[in-house]
Chain A
């Protein structure tokens, strides 16, 4: 490293939220011309620490030095003046404004969109971004929004960049593009901190890693000198085995028969076209496909949340009796043992009520099991306690609103509740989205346990490698059609990839 004075030095930083300690005595150093990966489990205080650098929170104790000089960062404005810019996990953009308006927001310069647009174009050309300054945010894809966020930070002349889980919502191609940009910035002698849970990204991108655990600083090391297993052990604080077991399915029986299912969106666009397959008990069926290819609609159709154009979905019980699911309402379907745990992009969008506490959220599934007009509150409370204990949810108590928990813990509660209802069929979508590596493996274990208990599991996930390791069979969707069904044990990554982008894959010899 050319420069030996750290660009950012955080000394003995502590931060409390009420009784919750988010950070205690954290020390962190960041040099120019390097990419530092900040690692830690969900709720270990990474985002809180970074929010103190960008001026949203003020540390209770400790000192921040920028280029060796003590700095007081009391507001985002202060942080800009030190050249710090942060791309937040949940984008800080205003939907009804254009890209250019969002980028100049809060600046003291004269409002001149034309001039600003020219400057935005200049930045885009330098780093190879593609942003239309006049485009409204609500018209943009997730990756476009992120680009706007990065341009916004660069527009302010930031040379210390913080990215909070930037790849959580990106496709592999978009991620590669982002990393190319980050490497270019590093060559520009900018200092970059990236928060991510994906170990292969840490290994391919970062120069150094720093690890936080439960708000405490554990240590830092050069990426080249370490490996995923060691980093995970540091994050978790004990030895973790990073293997997904795949027990042989025991006596799989058809559980749900989907035949010729066609679903159209409200605008009349075909989302699923003539989809037929079987879900079997004691087996994990993985559904692969690029995002938006119909996985969501498929699961929702089975759970009774989606209007179906044509086709049939039949449930087969233990005795072999068939029953049509179409035409039943979601509650009837749930009562038959078909459970949907869907983790949407914003986690709280579906399934949990943010302002209600843990016990009340458990009650959303059991509110009718009371005597007369009164609900039974004891059982959900017990359930909440056992979910907190079994899944190691970090929470001050079961009376805490779900809103104030960190994302991973929210997810554990959602999945835990669905599993607790002892379903016959478990539909999970993005169950590990945004979860750290340890929590992810806890969820995989939970899913495997369900499979061993004879539950028919449908698994929709973003990480293709995990999907292929976990599933017994893989159904590949492409543009709403079944592109192929593969055996999970023999499937090849390239084969799945081809099926994802083209119905029937490359087997016909043409491109």
Chain B
């Protein structure tokens, strides 16, 4: 029997990167951009954060060496904790933003095919990450193929002190790092903005029918750029969370796996609703690691792959069901994947 008190927190930490990825992709898709580059964007987000953290840690080391004598240094006590969070985060956001801008420039301004652009960006992003990952590993001179960012990552995985004392409740609800809670706030905020605000209404209009939005006076290009870039930045945070909190600051090439594709599957699974994605991503996270909690004979390691397949199968089932029910509100944005050019006839 599965032990839920230990299973659920594991499912949650698996789910958080997916939640970031799917929230970002939902916002992007609502603008009519089908960004299949999300796995690459998350990868770039992660490595950008790592580059920032690595350089900062090197700087802190040389600072410590220079000021070895001083005991209580203001920079070490106050500056380092703040910058440890800020620098990786800002580097991560910058890296993902550049990816978003690249995607928009190609698909919105130059009207390139979205699928091809997205897939190319995934390939590019993974290659980019592995290139700089390997370079950093070489720079750090480690004898294992990974780098450990202990100084900065500990600030990403701080937990509420009461998590230890409140038993199962603390374990299930309070035992996560700050980025985990941020992801839930972001998802709820995104859901509210899409559903309730004027900006959200305009965004949906752009994704449904850019020609209509345009004739209603909405700046289609601005909304497409804005939604895609913000979406990419949110997705990039998923990569950062994965390295800094889940993997406790240890970067090794290709460790991120197929989480980016799961995030895209989640968009369909949640029928384009970020608030649904909070539960759905935890469910997916749980399915992703379910095999660890089931008794699998060492002779039958192939079962592990079958279990890992479950999220995709579930997504297919949801896709089929929503197609059969054919409720208009549950369909993808009507102009998803299509370029828009005002003067085309």
A residues near B (Cβ < 8 Å) are: 17, 54-57, 75-77, 80, 86, 88, 92-97, 101, 104-107, 110-111, 136, 138, 403-404
List 5 extra interface pairs beyond A80-B217, A105-B205, CB under 8 A: A88-B215, A96-B334, A105-B218, A107-B217, A136-B328
Interface SS, A side: loop
Tell me which of B59-67, B114-122, B206-214, B240-248 binds A: B206-214
User: Quick one: which of B197, B211, B217 contacts A106, CB cutoff 8 A?
Assistant: B217
B residues near A (Cβ < 8 Å) are: 196-198, 201-202, 204-205, 208-209, 211-218, 328-329, 331, 334, 342-343, 345
Q: Which residues of A contact B329 (CB under 8 A)?
A: 96
Indicate if the CB atoms of B202 and A105 lie closer than 8 Å. yes
25 CB contacts below 8 A, A to B, read A17-B343, A55-B215, A56-B215, A56-B342, A76-B214, A88-B215, A92-B211, A92-B212, A93-B209, A93-B212, A94-B208, A95-B208, A96-B331, A96-B334, A97-B201, A104-B201, A105-B202, A105-B205, A105-B212, A106-B218, A107-B198, A110-B198, A111-B198, A403-B345, A404-B345
Q: Which residues of A contact B218 (CB under 8 A)?
A: 105-106
Q: Which residues of B contact A92 (CB under 8 A)?
A: 209, 211-212, 215-216
Q: Which residues of A contact B209 (CB under 8 A)?
A: 92-94
> In the complex where A97-B205, A101-B201, A111-B201 touch, is A106 in contact with B216 (Cβ < 8 A)?
yes
> In the complex where A57-B343, A97-B204, A111-B201 touch, is A75 in contact with B217 (Cβ < 8 A)?
yes
User: Quick one: which of B204, B217, B331, B343 contacts A76, CB cutoff 8 A?
Assistant: B217
Indicate if the CB atoms of A106 and B342 lie closer than 8 Å. no
Indicate if the CB atoms of A94 and B217 lie closer than 8 Å. no
Interface SS, B side: helix
In the bound complex, what is the Cα–Cα distance between A65 and B215 (angstroms)? 21
Q: Which residues of B contact A136 (CB under 8 A)?
A: 328
User: Quick one: which of A88, A95, A105, A107 contacts B213, CB cutoff 8 A?
Assistant: A105
In the bound complex, what is the Cα–Cα distance between A54 and B212 (angstroms)? 13
Q: Which residues of A contact B342 (CB under 8 A)?
A: 56-57
Closest A-chain residue to B345, C-beta based?
A404
Indicate if the CB atoms of A77 and B211 lie closer than 8 Å. no
Q: Which residues of A contact B211 (CB under 8 A)?
A: 92
Closest A-chain residue to B214, C-beta based?
A76
In the bound complex, what is the Cα–Cα distance between A56 and B345 (angstroms)? 12
Q: Which residues of B contact A106 (CB under 8 A)?
A: 202, 205, 213, 216-218
In the bound complex, what is the Cα–Cα distance between A403 and B216 (angstroms)? 24
Q: Which residues of A contact B345 (CB under 8 A)?
A: 17, 403-404
- Kindly provide the distance from the CB of B234 to the nearest chain A CB, expressed in whole angstroms: 23
In the bound complex, what is the Cα–Cα distance between A75 and B211 (angstroms)? 12
In the bound complex, what is the Cα–Cα distance between A466 and B190 (angstroms)? 56
In the bound complex, what is the Cα–Cα distance between A93 and B201 (angstroms)? 13
User: Quick one: which of A57, A105, A111, A404 contacts B216, CB cutoff 8 A?
Assistant: A105
Q: Which residues of A contact B198 (CB under 8 A)?
A: 107, 110-111
In the bound complex, what is the Cα–Cα distance between A17 and B212 (angstroms)? 21
In the bound complex, what is the Cα–Cα distance between A76 and B204 (angstroms)? 19
In the bound complex, what is the Cα–Cα distance between A34 and B201 (angstroms)? 36
In the bound complex, what is the Cα–Cα distance between A97 and B218 (angstroms)? 16
In the bound complex, what is the Cα–Cα distance between A55 and B214 (angstroms)? 10
In the bound complex, what is the Cα–Cα distance between A104 and B196 (angstroms)? 14
Q: Which residues of B contact A97 (CB under 8 A)?
A: 201, 204-205, 208
- Kindly provide the distance from the CB of A165 to the nearest chain B CB, expressed in whole angstroms: 16
Closest A-chain residue to B330, C-beta based?
A96
Q: Which residues of A contact B331 (CB under 8 A)?
A: 96
- Kindly provide the distance from the CB of A21 to the nearest chain B CB, expressed in whole angstroms: 14
Indicate if the CB atoms of A96 and B343 lie closer than 8 Å. no
- Kindly provide the distance from the CB of A151 to the nearest chain B CB, expressed in whole angstroms: 13
User: Quick one: which of A95, A101, A110 contacts B328, CB cutoff 8 A?
Assistant: A95
In the bound complex, what is the Cα–Cα distance between A92 and B328 (angstroms)? 17
In the bound complex, what is the Cα–Cα distance between A106 and B214 (angstroms)? 8
In the bound complex, what is the Cα–Cα distance between A86 and B202 (angstroms)? 19
- Kindly provide the distance from the CB of B155 to the nearest chain A CB, expressed in whole angstroms: 39
Indicate if the CB atoms of A105 and B208 lie closer than 8 Å. no
Closest A-chain residue to B218, C-beta based?
A106
Indicate if the CB atoms of A96 and B215 lie closer than 8 Å. no
- Kindly provide the distance from the CB of A235 to the nearest chain B CB, expressed in whole angstroms: 21
Q: Which 4 A-B pairs have the closest CB atoms?
A: A106-B216, A77-B217, A111-B198, A106-B217
In the bound complex, what is the Cα–Cα distance between A111 and B201 (angstroms)? 9
> In the complex where A94-B209, A111-B198, A138-B328 touch, is A54 in contact with B204 (Cβ < 8 A)?
no
Closest B-chain residue to A110, C-beta based?
B198
Q: Name which of A93, A105, A110 has the most chain B CB atoms within 10 A of its CB.
A: A105
Q: Which residues of A contact B204 (CB under 8 A)?
A: 94, 96-97
In the bound complex, what is the Cα–Cα distance between A88 and B215 (angstroms)? 10
> In the complex where A54-B215, A56-B342 touch, is A96 in contact with B202 (Cβ < 8 A)?
no
In the bound complex, what is the Cα–Cα distance between A80 and B218 (angstroms)? 12
In the bound complex, what is the Cα–Cα distance between A93 and B208 (angstroms)? 10
- Kindly provide the distance from the CB of B129 to the nearest chain A CB, expressed in whole angstroms: 37
Q: Which residues of B contact A77 (CB under 8 A)?
A: 217
In the bound complex, what is the Cα–Cα distance between A80 and B217 (angstroms)? 8
Indicate if the CB atoms of B208 and A96 lie closer than 8 Å. yes
Closest B-chain residue to A90, C-beta based?
B211
In the bound complex, what is the Cα–Cα distance between A55 and B343 (angstroms)? 11
Closest A-chain residue to B200, C-beta based?
A111
In the bound complex, what is the Cα–Cα distance between A388 and B218 (angstroms)? 39
Closest A-chain residue to B343, C-beta based?
A57
